[in-house]
């Protein structure tokens, strides 16, 4: 098994940049995906294969990868970006999946 580590919270002012990190020993070998979950709603995929943005996700969402850490960046944060963000990965054969504990993004 493996773990993914995320900081529990992050506060950011509107228009500023939010950088959310996800760390894990497997990340140099395995892709990370990111999910946004607004209060009372289901998760929504906002990034996959480390840096790929799904259709319909605003361009202010981007990501980068370096060694054991993947970073989701929200540029020009808007009030609607206030949510919990979870990273996720899997082992190399897709028999075991893990979510990070999540980062709560608060827009001040």
Residue 31 binds other proteins (CB under 8 A): yes
Question: According to CB under 8 A, which one of 12, 23, 43, 60 is a site residue for other proteins?
Answer: 43
Options 21-29, 58-66, 70-78, 81-89: segment touching other proteins (CB under 8 A): 81-89
Residue 72 contacts residue 34 (beta carbons within 8 Å): yes
- Which helix (H) or strand (E) covers residue 62, if one does? strand 61-66
Interface with other proteins by CB under 8 A: which range of 20-28, 58-66, 72-80, 89-97? 89-97
Of 54 and 76, CB closest to other proteins: 54
Burial label for 72, CB within 10 Å (0-12, 13-18, 19+), is buried
The piece of 11-19, 20-28, 43-51, 65-73 that touches other proteins (CB under 8 A) is 43-51
Is the Cβ of residue 19 or residue 49 nearer to other proteins in the bound state?
A: 49
Closest CA to 85 of 43, 57, 53: 43
Beta strands at 61-66 and 44-47: parallel, antiparallel or unpaired: unpaired
- For tokens 């002012």, the residue is 13
Residues that bind other proteins (CB under 8 A): 1, 30-31, 33, 35, 37, 41-45, 48-49, 54, 84, 86, 88-90, 94-102
């Amino acid at each position: 098994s493996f773990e993914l580590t995320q900081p529990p919270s992050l506060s950011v002012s509107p228009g500023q940049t939010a950088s959310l990190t996800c760390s894990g020993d497997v990340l140099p070998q395995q892709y990370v995906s990111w999910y946004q979950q607004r209060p009372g709603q289901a998760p929504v995929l906002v990034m996959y294969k480390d840096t790929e943005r799904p259709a319909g996700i605003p361009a202010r969402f981007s990501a980068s990868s370096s060694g054991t850490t993947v970073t989701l960046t929200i540029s020009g944060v808007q009030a609607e970006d206030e949510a919990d963000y979870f990273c996720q990965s899997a082992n190399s054969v897709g028999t075991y999946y893990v979510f990070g504990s999540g980062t709560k993004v608060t827009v001040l």
